[in-house]
Amino acid sequence: MADEVKLREQICLLAKSIFDRGLTGGSTGNLSSRTSDGGLLVSPTGTSFGRLDPGRLSRFDSQGHFLSGDNPTKEMDLHSAFYDTRSTAGAVVHLHSCHSVALSMMPDVDEDNFLPPLTPYAIMKLGKVKLLPFFMPGDPEMGKAVRGLAGKRSAVMLANHGPVVAGKDIESACNAIEELEDTARLAMMTRGMSVKKLELNDIRALITKFDVEWDS
């Protein structure tokens, strides 16, 4: 029980940090994390990352049955898709971060490899990010699209909507999605410029050295 209390507090602390720095605003975004008994703690629907209450997080058991707390995010299908297809997923974070959404609307973005290779860190933390098409918020088809990737991606970008990242725990998932937004910001800042991107040999070296998932 002490571990769960600590996890609840950590979820709310990280969410507030994300909110305070403007990475998702209003009542946008949602996140979830595995508990030690295999259940889930989930941010409730319609809540702000800046004001999450540890005692009111939605609690599910290991079989996916709702146990307590406020009603969960309407995008549970999206979270479940990552947990069901990636055995390493211990947490899932979804934001409405500005620069990544802006990049998703650019006509020449690579759908299979959304982020340009500008720094090593997005490659190390995310691998390839898949750009998915636009879906209505809460549409179960988002979850089906993630399941269609068969667990090969830890991160996707929902076009005109926002990124979704799975990590081994809530801290690593938050760190990775912030790296996604930072890289998208760099891409938008340097758009139209003659940018020196990482060379293919550099990318291959990073993949090898840091054991990055990188489907060809």
* Helix locations, 57-199, DSSP H: 76-85, 98-104, 120-126, 141-147, 170-189
Find out whether 25 and 45 touch, Cβ atoms under 8 Å: no
Q: Measuring CA to CA, which residue among 50, 52, 25, 51 is closest to residue 41?
A: 52
* Helix locations, the chain, DSSP H: 2-20, 76-85, 98-104, 120-126, 141-147, 170-189, 200-209
Catalytic residue list contains 75: yes
Q: Find all residues with CB under 8 Å of 110, minimum gap 6, and list them.
A: 131
Q: Which amino acid is at 145?
A: A
Catalytic residue list contains 178: no
Radius of gyration of the chain (CA): 17
**Catalytic choice (83, 121, 171, 213):** 121
Other CB atoms within 10 A of residue 9 CB? 11
| Whole-number Å distance between alpha carbons of 167 and 177 | 9
**Catalytic choice (75, 178, 179, 181):** 75
Q: Which residues are catalytic?
A: 75, 121
